Amino acid sequence: MANAKSTGRARSQPRRRWPGIVLVLAVLAGSLAFANRAEIGGLAMAGTAYGAHVGCSCRHIGGRSLDDCEKDFEPGMELVSLSEDEEEKSVTASIPFIASQTAAYREGEGCVLEPWEG
């Protein structure tokens, strides 16, 4: 019987380690993201600028729906979402909490990105 109790404890110990392992991995991932925040922010700004320009051109020059325009994105742009301001004839691409860019259609010029901030 003593042997059965020690076996039961051995099985429960690895389960107790998972929260600690997950916490360590989360802290490590957060530290890496913080250390590379300038690069991540730059890539996010470039990606959203590209998405806004493609979305604006597709929508206001090509006359397609915004949902259909997202099909034109390059692989890896799954986090970029598009929204439209019909009145301003503009499309905003954003990655939540990281970056956002807007391109507006101007007659005779096409779709033009708003100046970058930062």
Residue 47: closest CA among 83, 78, 91: 78
Cα–Cα distances (Å) from 27 to 37, 39, 40, 55, 118, in that order, read 15, 19, 17, 36, 28
pLDDT digit string, tens, across residues 37-89: 778 788 889 999 999 999 999 999 999 999 999 888 888 889 999 999 999 99
Euclidean distance between CA atoms 77 and 38, whole angstroms:
18
pTM of the model: 0.70
